[in-house]
Amino acid sequence: QRRSVWRALWQNQLARYALLTLIVAFPLGGMWYLRNALYGHPMLVLPEGYWQAAAQRSGQELGWLLLMALLAVPFAGR
């Protein structure tokens, strides 16, 4: 009975991708919560300094890519 449920889930493509995503994301999330616990941070909150620095780096790196994409759009149809 239990095997047939897993087999049916695995044959459904959406369920298969959801299960694979869960299998990959669960350990990564667990490591983050463990890291927060070891540093003494609240388990569900990102430290402010980390968040701000990551957002600034991300914005700086992504800005040039967005500019290039916007400049390339008019030439894409030619």
Q: Is residue 38 domain-shared with residue 73, that is, in the same domain?
A: no
Q: What is the pLDDT of residue 59?
A: 66
Number of domains in the chain: 2
Q: Is residue 2 domain-shared with residue 39, that is, in the same domain?
A: yes
pTM: 0.41
Q: Which domain holds residue 76?
A: 47-78
Q: Is residue 40 domain-shared with residue 71, that is, in the same domain?
A: no
Q: What is the pLDDT of residue 78?
A: 63
Eight-class DSSP state of 12? S
Q: What is the pLDDT of residue 70?
A: 87
Residue 23 class from Cβ within 10 Å (0-12 exposed, 13-18 middle, 19+ buried)?
A: exposed
Q: Convert the pLDDT of each residue in 7-53 to its tens digit.
A: 887 788 888 888 888 898 898 888 888 888 898 888 877 667 777 78
Q: What is the pLDDT of residue 47?
A: 67
Q: Is residue 36 domain-shared with residue 61, that is, in the same domain?
A: no
Ramachandran bin of 12, using left for φ above 0, alpha for ψ from -120 to 50, beta for the remaining angles: beta
Q: What is the pLDDT of residue 7?
A: 83
CA 24 to chain CA mean position, Å: 10
Cα–Cα dist 20/2, whole Å: 19
Q: Is residue 37 domain-shared with residue 58, that is, in the same domain?
A: no
Q: Is residue 54 domain-shared with residue 40, that is, in the same domain?
A: no
Q: Is residue 24 domain-shared with residue 56, that is, in the same domain?
A: no
CA 21 to chain CA mean position, Å: 10
